[in-house]
Structure 1
Amino acid sequence: MDTLGPEQRRRRWLILAVVAAAYVLSFFQRFAPAGIAQDLAAAFQTSAASLGVLAATYFYVYTIMQVPTGILADTLGPRRILALGGIVGGLGSFLFGFAPSLDVALVGRTLIGLGVSVTFIAMLKLIAVWFEERRFATIVGICMLVGNLGSVLAGAPLSALAQATGWRGVFLGVGGLSMTLGVLCWLLVRDRPASLVAGGIEAPRVDRTVVLNGLRTVLKNRATWPAALLNTGMCGAFFTFAGLWATPYLMQVHGLSRNVAASHLSLWFGGFAVGCFFVGTLSDRLGRRKPVLLVTSHLLVLIFLVFLSCIKMPLAVSYALFALTGLTTAGMSLSWACAKEVNPPLLSGMSTSVTNMGSFLAAALLQPTVGWVMDLSWQGEMLGGTRFYDVASWRAGLLVVTLCAALGALCSWWIHETRCRNIWQAS
C-alpha cells in the first residue's frame, strides 16, 4: 500500500502479529479435545456419544457464524469483533476449566467456539486493508502456516502439559491468554491505516440486499457444489477424527501410551501445516487444480481404510503414515480456490465461506455420530475410569469417517478445472 508511511508500515506488522497469535489460539481450541479426550471422559464419566457432542459444540457455533462474521467485519470492524471474540472465548475457556459437570462444559465449549469463530475472517479483512493486493495470497498463506502451529500444540504438548498440571489448569491459562489477546486487539489493532482515515476514505458499508443476492448467486451456481462437498468430505473427516478420536483410537486399538499417541497427532497437524503451504504452490506451478485434488482425496480414503483395518504396524510406519495423512489432508485447501474461481470475483469471500461451512457442519454432526455408533457395540468394559471400546466398535465408528472421506474423493471428479484463474461468466 503505497500511501503508508514508515510508522504505519511498522504498525501493520504489529497488528498482524497480534491477530496471528489469536489465530494460533483458535486452532488450538479447535483440536484441544483430541489431546485430552481420556481426561474429559474420566472427569465427566461420559459416553463416547456425549464426548462427541462436547467436542462438536465448537463446530456448531463456528458453522453458524461463517457468513455473519463477514458482515460483522464490514460493519463493526475487525478491531471490535476481535476484542469481543477474545473476551468471549476467554470466558468460555474459564467456564470449561472450572466445569463441574458435562452441561457446564458444553456451555463453556460453545462460548469458546463463538469467541474464536471471528478470528479468521477478521484477519483476512485486515490483511486486505493494510497490505498490497499483490501480497495478499502470500501473507494469508504464511498466516495459515503459523496458525496451524496451534493444532500442533493441541497434540503432544497439550497431552504432556495436561498430565503435568491437569487439563483444567491448561484451559484456565488459555482463558487468560485469550482475554489478554482480546485486550491487545482493542489497544493495538486499527481497522484501517491512518492515511485512509485522513484522506476521507470511508469504510465500506454492507448492503444486506447485496449480501443476500450474492449468497444466492453462490448457492445457485452448480460449479460451487463439487468444491464445497469435497471440502465437506476431506476436511470433515479430518476434523472429526483428528479433532477427537485419533488419540483414544491409538491408545485402545494399538496399545500406544498417551504421549506416543499424542505425538502421532502432532505429526498429522504438522504435516497439514506444511502441506497447506506447499499444495497451493504445486497446484499453481502445474497450472491445474483437479489432478492434485484427485490424488490427495483418494489417497486420504486409502489411509482411512488402513485405519479402519486396525492393522498393527511398527511405530516408525505409523509415524510416517500420520505425517503423510497430514500432507494429504492439506489437499482440501485447494477447494477454496476452486470455489472462488468459479464465482464472481466480488463474491470471493462469500464463496469461500460457503465452501468452508461444509467441513465444520460435517464435524459438528459426525463427532457425536461416531461416538453414538461406538456406544451401540460397547461391551461394558471400563479401563482407568473410562469406557474401553474393542476393535469392532472402533471399526464401526471409523467406517463413518471413512465414508465421509469417500464423499470428498467422489466429488473431486466433478471439480471444474479452472487452470488457476477465474472462469466465471455471467449468464
Structure 2
Amino acid sequence: MTEQIHDIGRRRAWVIWVVGLSVYLLAVFHRSSLGVAGLLAADRFGVDATQLAFFTVLQLLVYAGMQVPVGVLLDRFGSRALLLWGLVIMSGAQLAFAFVESFPAAVLARALLGAGDAMVFVSVIRLVSVWFLVRQAPLVTQLTGQIGQLGAIVAAAPLSSALRELGWTSSFGLASTVGVVLMVAVALLVKDSPYARGGPTRVKLRALTRSLQAVWGNPGTRLGMWSHFTTQFSMTVFAMLWGFPFLVRGQGLSPTLASSLLMVMTLWVIVGGLTLSWAVGRFPYYRSWIVVGIVLAMAAAWGAVLLQDGPAPMWLLVVLLCAMGTGGPASMVGFDLARSFTPLDETGRANGLVNVGGFSASLLVTLLIGLVLDLREPGGVGAYDLDDFRVAFAVQYAFWGLGLVQVLRYRYRGLDHLRRQHPGAIETLRRGEPFVHPGFSDREGV
C-alpha cells in the first residue's frame, strides 16, 4: 500500500491549490486577452473576420488536440512538471505576440499559447482529486473553474485600459512577465501527491493503449465530455473573441460598457457556480439533468436576444450574460461526472478527454461565426451590423441540439454501466452521497 505522508484536505492542500489556481487564472487571462484586443488585432495585422477567428480557432485546436497527450503525461509525470512547462510556454508565446507584426507569426504565437494553456487546467483538477477529500472535491472543482474566470475580468478591463494607455507591445510584454513569478511559486510549493511516490510512473505503450481505450469506452467519460461540450462553448466564444464585437458593432454599446458587461458575465460565474456546486454535491444523481436545464436556459436567453427587432434592452443583455456565465461552472460538472466512473490513476486521461469536448465545440463555433460574418458582409469588421451577428450566432443551436442528445444518451448508458459493474452505486447517488470509484482499472465490461 502507498504510504500517506501528508494530510488530505488540510492546510497544505489549500496552499497547493491556491498556487495551482493562480496559474489557471493567468492561463485564462492569456486565453481571453484577444477578446478585448480583437478589433486592434484586425487593424494591426490587416485581417478579416475569418482570419481574426483563425487566431482563436488555432489556439483552441492546439489546446483540444493536446488534451489526451497531456492527460497521459500528467498521469506519468504529475501536475508540478506540467504546470512549470505550461508557464514557460505561455510566457514565451505571449512575449512573442507582443512583438510580432505579421499575421503568420502572430498565429504561431497564439498556437504556442494554446499548447501551454493545455497543460494547466487538467493539472490543477488532478491536484484537487488527490489532495482533497471526496466530499470536498466537487466544491473545490467548482471554485477552481469559477475563480479562474477572474482572469477574464483582468483581460476585459485592465488589459483594455493598458492597450489604450501603453500600446500593444508594452501591454502584452508586461503580461508575459507574470508567469516567471508563478514558476518560482510552483517549484517551491506544489507537490504532486500526499502519498510517497518513487518517481514517474512508467507505462508500456500496449498497456497505455488499453488504458486509453478503457477510459474512452467508459460511458461516464463520454457523459462528462458531452456535458462539457454542450455547456462551455457559448461563454468561451463570447469571452474569447466575438462578444466584444457583438456588443460594440451589433448592440451599439461603447467599448467601456462592453468591457463592463464582459466583467458582469465573469462575476456571475462565481455567483452561479456557488449555487451550482451546492446542487451538484447535494443531488449527484441529477447532475446531468442540471446540465440539461442550464443549456436550455442559455438557448432561451440567446433566442430572446436574437429575435429582438433592434438592439436588446440592457436588462436582457444582462440576463443573457448571466445565462452564459452559468454555463462556465456547469461545464465543471463534466469532470465531476467522469470522476465517478474513473479510478484515481486514470483521472488525468479521463479529464483530458472531458476537456476536449468544450474546446472542440468552442473552436468550431468560433470559426463558423467568422465564416458566416464574412459571407454576409465582405466589407470587414467595421461593416458588421446586428443582422449579421443574428445569423452568425444562430449556429450555436446546432451544437446545443447535438450536445443535449448525447448527454441524454450517455446518461442512460452511464447509469446502466454503474448498475452492472458497481451494484449499490446508483442507490448511493440517489441518497445524495458521492460515489467513490473502488479503483478497478480494467475495462469493467465496457
TM over 0.5: yes
| Aligned-CA RMSD value | 3.0
* Residue 156 (str. 1) matches residue 157 (str. 2): yes
Aligned equivalents of 1:138, 1:237: Cα separation in 2:
23
1:402 aligns to 2:393 (yes or no): no
Pairwise CA distance, 1:232: 1.8
CA contact (8 A) 2:152 2:239 kept: no
Cα separation, 1, equivalents of 2:328 and 2:147: 17
TM-aligned CA distance change 1:79 to 1:356, over 3 Å: closer
Q: Is the 8 A contact 1:240 1:363 kept in 2?
A: yes
- Give the match for residue 372 of structure 1: 371
Match of 1:271 in 2: 268
Equivalent of residue 388 in structure 1, options 383, 388, 402: 383
Deviations 1:141-197 (A, max 9, x none): 33333212112222233323322322432211111112332243234434456x836
* Closer/same/farther in 2, CA of residues 156 and 394 from structure 1, 3 Å limit: same
SS in 2 for 1:154: helix
CA distance in 2, matches of 1:342, 1:196: 25
TM-score, structure 1 length as denominator?
0.86
Runs of 5+ unmatched residues, structure 1 = none
1:289 positional shift: 1.9
Post-superposition CA distance 1:260-314 (Å, at most 9, x none): 1111112222222332332132133234223312211111111222343354233
2:361 is aligned to 362
Provide Cα deviations, 1:332-378, integer angstroms capped at 9, x if missing partner: 33233334435567644433322220211222233122111110111
Q: Would you say the 8 A contact 2:235–2:327 is kept in 1?
A: no
1:331 aligns with 330
Matched with 1:141 is: 142
* 3-state SS in 1 of match to 2:295: helix
- 2:304 matches 1:302: no
Deviating above 6 A after TM superposition, structure 1's stretches of 4 or more consecutive aligned residues are: none
Taking the aligned partners of 1:336 and 1:129, their CA distance within structure 2 comes to: 14
Q: For the residues of structure 2 that align with 1:236 and 1:39, how far apart are their CA atoms?
A: 24
For the pair 1:249 / 2:251, whether they are aligned, the reply is no
SS in 1 for 2:104: helix
Alignment correspondent of 2:116:
115
Residue 282 (str. 1) matches residue 287 (str. 2): no
Give distance in 1, aligned partners of 2:341 and 2:81: 32
Tell whether 2:167 aligns with 1:166.
yes
- Of residues 135-144 and 237-246 in structure 1, the stretch that sits farther from structure 2 once superposed is 135-144
Q: Distance in 1 between matches of 2:342 and 2:15?
A: 33
- C-alpha displacement of 1:58: 1.8
Shift of 1:133: 5.3
Alignment of 1:114-263 (within 5 A): 114-132=115-133, 135-192=136-193, 196=196, 204-222=201-219, 224-263=221-260
| Cα deviation, residue 89, structure 1 | 0.9
Q: Does the Cα contact within 8 Å between 2:311 and 2:386 map onto a contact in 1?
A: no
1:17 CA drift (Å)? 2.8
Is the contact made by 1:215 and 1:350 (CA closer than 8 Å) also made in structure 2? yes
CA contact under 8 A between 2:268 and 2:322: conserved in structure 1?
A: yes
Paired position in structure 1 for 2:420: none
C-alpha displacement of 1:130:
4.5
Give me the whole-angstrom Cα distance separating, in 2, the residues matched to 1:171 and 1:304: 33
Instruction: Provide TM-score, normalisation by structure 2.
Output: 0.83
Which residue identity lines up with residue 61 of structure 2 in the other structure?
Y
What is the rounded CA distance, in whole Å, between the counterparts of 1:218 and 1:309 in structure 2? 42
> Contact 1:74/1:205 (CA < 8 Å) preserved in 2?
no
Could you tell me how far apart the structure 1 residues matched to 2:215 and 2:256 are? 44
